[in-house]
Structure 1
Amino acid sequence: MLTKYLSRYFGYDSFRDGQEEIIQHLLKGEHVLGVLPTGGGKSICYQLPALLFPGITIVVSPLISLMEDQVIQLKNMGLFIATYINSQLSYEEIVYRLKGLEQGKTKILYVSPEKLQQEAFFNRLKK
């Protein structure tokens, strides 16, 4: 079943080592620590479940360029489900992206750790 979604959303015919096992545990609601090598396909391990779960998946990343690359990659695949919020965005752009989040236009939100430390931002995410 998972391979069907992998193919439909991401265009891959099979999982890399460890990916399917990680995703199966996540879909059961279990806590998972997934350790994969660089280039091992870690992003599929949270992107695919994000598409299958209701609600929003929040990905905390200190790497701004990675956030941007992930969002662009998903959009290039026709999956307009992701956005990012970090310290390089203007206040207006952050407000715009949060409104999209509240309207259900976003399934995956990439956010920098320092944003989560801002009480007002964190409280808005709790909504």
Structure 2
Amino acid sequence: MNTKQLLEKYFGFSEFRPGQEQVVETLLAGRSALAVFPTGGGKSLCYQLPALCFDGVTIVVSPLIALMKDQIDFLTARGIPAARLDSSLGLDEVRSIGEGLASGTLKL
């Protein structure tokens, strides 16, 4: 599936926002990218969409628990297996996430 098809299927958008497609294509080509967009400009999609194209799990590091929760809720609502590890989780939740990582059932 190409990036436009993934964009539509998982994120519900028919077109990329300005700058997103270039960042995604750069990452898929195996190169590093720096994306500086305003708040709400679509930075998250720039790592979430490529994660769907790569084998294995993609680890995202974020200092904001609320942002992680919002993003995980968004991804799982669209059928993308994702989880977060943060200080608000109980031991059983952490273990379950570890099992998901070990079994390869998580994508992000």
TM-score category, normalised to shorter length: over 0.9
Runs (4+) of structure 1 moved beyond 2 Å? none
SS of 2:84 mapped into structure 1: strand
Q: Residue in 1 aligned with 2:88?
A: 88
RMSD of aligned alpha carbons:
1.0
Number of matched pairs: 107
Measured in 2, the distance between the counterparts of 1:32 and 1:86 equals 26
Give the match's secondary structure for 1:71: helix
Q: Report percent identity of matched pairs.
A: 49
* In 1: Cα distance, 2:77 partner to 2:3 partner: 22
Give me the TM-score of the superposition, normalised by structure 2. Answer: 0.93
Superposition map of 1:1-127 within 5 A: 1-79=2-80, 81-108=81-108
1:52-98 residue CA offsets vs partner (Å, 9 max, x unmatched): 1001111000000111111111122232x100001121233212111
CA distance in 1, matches of 2:10, 2:92: 31
Distance 1:27 1:75 in 2: 23
Alpha-carbon distance between aligned partners in 2 of 1:2 and 1:54, rounded to the nearest angstrom: 15
Q: Which has the larger radius of gyration?
A: 1
Q: TM-score, normalised by structure 1?
A: 0.80
CA distance in 2, matches of 1:24, 1:82: 22
